[in-house]
Amino acid sequence: MSVPLTLLGLLARGQPTHGYDLKRDYDSHFANGKPLPYGQVYSTLSRLARDGKVVGGEAEPGDGPDRKRYAITDMGRGEVMGWLSQTVEPEPHLQTVLFSKVVLALMLGEDAAGYLDAQRAAHLKRMRELTEVKRTGATVDALLADYGLFHLEADLRWIELTTARLTALARVVTDEQK
């Protein structure tokens, strides 16, 4: 997730907005349980202003510290619209941490099958958590849970396939070391 581009997208809705409101909207729609720190919001807005993608208004008094309203510039709008029009690379990472750990376990004579079993258990636990979010959460949360579940399902299929081929993979890995 690109925080700067997401904040630009939130500003592209039209109305100049306080950083506090941008954080609230970001957390509501995109944080998925990991709120964006206030410091990150304001440092990002500062960089976007420096780069000419947003402009900050005059500080306004409020209940707490003075606040600025930020507005997107034409340059910022162009950047966010260009980003929205780009597809996300559909290729999976061909060498994931999961794969690397299995190969290294085999190279080191460690228990790769045990690692795969533990990873399977961790994936299943996370799938149960996401299924609960899907069952009880709002539409956005349910869609994000589905996204995570689909990726975890693919990982589980890979874990099963790798477990079935572990002996063959071990031969390849250990033969390469000789």
Q: Is 116 left (phi over 0), alpha (psi -120 to 50) or beta?
A: alpha
Write down the pLDDT at residue 93.
Answer: 64
DSSP 35: P
| Cβ-based neighbour number of residue 45 at 10 Å | 23
State the Cα–Cα distance between residues 12 and 113, nearest whole angstrom: 50
How many angstroms separate the Cα of 144 from the Cα of each of 10, 37, 140? Answer: 19, 21, 6
DSSP string, 87-102: PPP-PPPSS-HHHHHH
Whether the Cβ atoms of residue 169 and residue 100 lie closer than 8 Å to each other:
no
Write down the pLDDT at residue 130.
Answer: 94
Write down the pLDDT at residue 58.
Answer: 78
Instruction: Please give the mean pLDDT across all residues of the chain.
Output: 87
> Which two tokens mark 122?
């961790």
Write down the pLDDT at residue 94.
Answer: 58
pLDDT by residue for the chain (178 residues), tens digit each?
689 999 999 999 888 999 999 999 888 878 777 899 999 999 999 999 999 999 998 777 766 566 889 999 999 999 999 988 887 666 666 557 788 789 888 888 888 999 999 999 999 999 999 999 999 989 999 999 999 999 999 999 999 999 999 999 999 887 755 5
